[in-house]
Structure 1
């Protein structure tokens, strides 16, 4: 019994000794938000240091701050809410890695009317994108080199 417990503990330690950490902070860090217009779609790029461990997106009528009971106004007819798991706007020492606006109207876009950070709590980062055309569709993808999350809103 004691021998098998020791062997099991050694096996677990061996696994953890060779598994690299995802990043120094344990989560991806947002560093910038960029927007651009393309033929047939508009793009929101979340530049990151690392990638989130996962994400989920849904269309909502209202956006609420995930940490406090407060509505976040986002311009547009429809709102795409994307939640990134294992991501934040700060590093392991709670220094801001993203210092830009937390709720803004992107310039030069016709469909996308607003972008807001809707959650930044316990390594969960929420981004809300408001848009004018209720028939718009969207895609959310991650890309590397550099690390980024790309949200495309198709008109």
Structure 2
């Protein structure tokens, strides 16, 4: 009987050591998109729960939804160029599928001098896509992260 009890205990311990333990959110989550006009540039800020593992930036003339492939027209009118920012290790929803960013997925930015609109182009498999449409195709841009709080900053110059 003792051998049988010992075998059961060993089996239970083996299962417990192999079973995954509940983990924290697997991807950084988007909670807000803020915009602001500064002297010489327009700014778009993505508020995140943590810093993304990586991001890539490209200038494009059109964007589409990453899952469906359907074209997306960035709101705001007068868009001549689009800065497509792809953020890896980030999402606009939590691990249970609940939205963490309740705002608009495509909105105009009338208070900015160059940026006309912002659109989410992807929220799939910890990849978040953001398109920033602007009027002047010769504009400069910079993208960087900041902490306390965590955010990804997109500046588009005049």
Alpha-carbon shift at residue 107 of structure 1 (Å): 3.0
- Confirm whether residue 61 of structure 1 aligns to residue 64 of structure 2: no
Q: CA RMSD in A?
A: 1.0
Within the candidate set 121, 125, 140, 1:122 is matched to 125
TM-score between the two structures when normalised by the length of structure 1 = 0.84
Aligned residues: 133
Q: Which runs of 5+ in 2 are unaligned?
A: 1-22
Within the candidate set 93, 97, 100, 1:94 is matched to 97
Alpha-carbon shift at residue 25 of structure 1 (Å): 1.3
Within the candidate set 134, 144, 156, 1:141 is matched to 144
Q: Which runs of 5+ in 1 are unaligned?
A: 1-22
SS in 1 for 2:129: strand
Alignment partners' CA distance in 2, 1:96 and 1:140: 25
TM-score between the two structures when normalised by the length of structure 2 = 0.82
Alignment partners' CA distance in 2, 1:97 and 1:29: 7
What is the match of residue 37 of structure 2?
Answer: 37
Alignment partners' CA distance in 2, 1:115 and 1:49: 20
Alignment partners' CA distance in 2, 1:121 and 1:33: 18
Alignment partners' CA distance in 2, 1:107 and 1:44: 13
